[in-house]
Every structure is written in C-alpha cells, then in structure tokens.
Amino acid sequence: MTESTITQLQPMPDDWQRALAVVAHPDDLEYGCSAAIAAWTEAGREISYVLATRGEAGIDTVEPERCGPLREREQRASAAVVGVSAVEFLGHRDGVIEYGTALRRDIAAAIRRYRPELVITLNHRDTWGGVAWNTPDHVAVGRATLDAAGDAGNRWIFPELVEQGLEPWNGVRWVAVAGSTTPTHAVDAAPGLERGIRSLLEHRAYIEALTDEDPETYVRNFLTGIAREVGKRFGDKPAVAFELFPR
Ligand SMILES: [Zn+2]
C-alpha cells in the first residue's frame, strides 16, 4: 500500500459532555487510552471509570488478597492524574469474568447511574492483531459493554434495576473501543500524552513486576510508540485510536 491509500482515521466526535469507561482490569485504560481521557477532562468533559475486577490476579508474586487492594489504590491514583475522580469496582473475579446476563446487568446499571453519551471500552475481539491472543476478561467485558449500552435503555430487559431506582438511559450515542484491531477514529494525543504517561506510571507495583526496565523509560517508550504509530493514520500527530460503534 502506498502512503496515500492508507485509510486515515476520522476525528472522534466532540459534541458530548459525559463519558463512562468500562474495562476489566486496573491498567487497561492506561495502556494507550488515558492520553485521550486527559485531553478530554482538560477540555471540561466528565469521565468516570468502572472496572469489572480489582486486578487481583495480575501480579504473580502477590497473592490476590493483598493484590486487589493494592491495585485498587494504584487505579484510583492513576485516574486522578487524568482528571477522573469517580472509579468503581464491580467485584467480578479477575481472570475468570464470565460473559453473560450478570455482567451485562452490572454494566447496564453503571450506565444508568452515570448517564454517559460516550461509552469507552477495550478490545473485545479475539486477538490484538495477527496471532497476539486477547484475554477472556477483555473479550467478555468489551462485548458485554457494547451490549449493555442497549440494555441500559430498555426498561424491560433488567426490570430489577428500575425497582432499584435506576431508570432507563437511552442516551448512549457511541461506544468507542480502544485497542481495536480495526480502528475507525482517533483523537489527538499530544495535549494528554504527558499525563497519560504519568497515569500509567501510577501502576508501579504492576509495572515493576512486569519488566526489569526503568518504569519511566518503559512507560514513555511504550506509550509514545503507540501514539506515533496511530498518528501515521491521523495526520502524523500522536494519536489514540478507537473503533467507534454509533447507536
Ligand atoms: Zn486487562
């Protein structure tokens, strides 16, 4: 393919005020997406995080009872760096999240509580591209989030939510999937990149267990590398890509 035939990514819509990000684990948003979150909160938008698990199975050397609270603290600090103060944990078990109505209901309930116009999630497809296999938790939560955007608007799908006072919210206009193998849209990462780097660095215990490299060097190289790669399809500006599903 020549330069001119590489499909360019479209700019993300910006006529919205509230977004809700729903992912499986602490760090899922920080591995690429949080530069976009930082840019959006800087522009005055409200963004909240919902995590299906506390990531308690994420560090081989730390048992889950200690790991869960540690990673929850790191996630809250990480969110604060990019201007996000509402962080909820749904308490599903890390590594064995089951796709199904219980997960859809929990996410639909969160969508009704936060009433977002934009919902953000992480790659729900089998792979990260080629033969890089995705994890079952990401697939389950990504799919359930795409489904729950519809469930949230239908009062008859989970009537128990209405009984709990959660009225239907049919205002989700898009679900944006980060880390998708087939992105369609992008957002300029430049204004949020430094804070995105610092937000991933807050997952220090996780990163130190993951690599022997200096954490800041590892994080900076990783995130600027992805942003530059996406930017080749977005006017050569560092960018964060999303696959956008309008509703
Ligand atoms: Zn994850």
Residues around the ion ligand 1 (C-beta < 5 A):
24-25, 28
Band (6; pLDDT cuts 50, 70, 90): confident
The answer to whether the CB of 33 falls within 8 A of the CB of 21 is: yes
Non-local (6+) Cβ contacts of 22 within 8 A are 49, 50, 51, 52, 107, 110, 119, 120, 121, 141, 145, 148
CA distance 183 to 240: 10
pTM: 0.96
% the chain with pLDDT above 70: 98
Confidence bin at 24 (pLDDT 50/70/90):
very high
Average pLDDT, rounded, for the chain:
96
What residues contact 78, with CB distance under 8 A and at least 6 apart? 26, 27, 30, 34, 199, 200, 202, 203
> Residue 68 Cα, ligand 1 centroid: separation in angstroms?
14
**What is the 23 CA–ligand 1 centroid distance (Å)?**
8
The fold for domain 3-246 equals Rossmann fold (3.40.50)
Map out the domains of the chain as residue ranges.
3-246
Q: Average pLDDT in the 224-239 region?
A: 96
Centre of ligand 1 to C-alpha 163, Å, is: 32
Question: Is the predicted pLDDT of residue 148 greater than 60, yes or no?
Answer: yes
At a CB cut-off of 8 Å and minimum separation 6, what does 183 contact?
A: 9, 230, 233, 241, 242, 243
CA of 180 to the centre of ligand 1 (A): 14
